[in-house]
Amino acid sequence: MTAKKRVAVLVSGRGSNMQALVEAAHAPDYPAEIALVISNRPDAPGLAWAKAQGILTLALDHKRYESREHFEGQLQSVLDLSKIDLVALAGFMRLMTASFVDRWRDRMINIHPSLLPAFKGLRTHEQALEAGVKISGCTVHFVRPEMDDGPIIGQAAVPVLASDTPETLAARVLAAEHRLYPRALALVARDQVQVDGSVVHIQDAVYAQFNQQQVLGSPSL
């Protein structure tokens, strides 16, 4: 078996997606290990959870750095020292500079709680409800300098109900995120994705299996 990819997960808060990645990575045949969890918020609950699991954690309080470049310089040193192969953003609420993003081009992924390119940015579920969409979901994509933008690796869909509030929709999407993110990271870690401009190509047989788990596996009404 080829060596597992070393992944750093970056969080800013609760960290439930990070938790889903950590739990998936316990499987012996999972192609990645969560080597490091970093938060820009020292009090992030996700950081405390990861520490309690015995995972190497680090708080890099962005407020203590005089500029975005200094913060990212420190972040890069830590990633280098830990020999990180892939970075997974999981509710990491800080924009990165274009130079940091370019350094991690096609090696840094993010999850967003909408079917991108719809509803980028904040208040995602409010945006979806205001637009009246009948299906929402989540997207895992490679990170590019623009917020919530970049080649799409995978998506999962959930229904939007007439009775939904932003909170109930968020909870349904979050459950889909927890299923999608570990599978999307596994595709990247197994080198089963090829980035071609703004499009990610995945072999049909690989994608069929992935998609079956995502879309057909979505919760029913």
Of 207, 19, 188, 206, nearest in space to 107 by CA: 188
Q: Does 87 bind ligand GAR (CB under 6 A)?
A: no
x/- binding map, residues 45-84, to ligand GAR, per CB under 6 A?
-x--------------------------------------
Residue 97 CB, nearest distance to ligand GAR (Å)? 17
Q: Does 113 bind ligand GAR (CB under 6 A)?
A: yes
The SS3 of residue 36 is strand
Q: Count Cβ atoms below 10 Å from residue 214 Cβ, excluding itself.
A: 21
Q: How many CA atoms lie within 13 A of 136 on its CB side?
A: 30
Q: Does 13 bind ligand GAR (CB under 6 A)?
A: yes
Give the residue with the Cβ less far from ligand GAR, 88 or 208. 88
Whether omega before 45 lies within 30 degrees of 0, making that bond cis, reads no
Give the residue with the Cβ less far from ligand GAR, 14 or 68. 14
Q: Does 15 bind ligand GAR (CB under 6 A)?
A: yes
Site for ligand GAR in 153-182 (CB under 6 A): 174, 177
49 vs 42: CA distance, rounded Å: 12
Residue 76 CB, nearest distance to ligand GAR (Å)? 21
Kindly tell me the sign of the dihedral angle through the C-alpha atoms of 208, 209, 214, 219.
positive
Positions marked active-site: 112
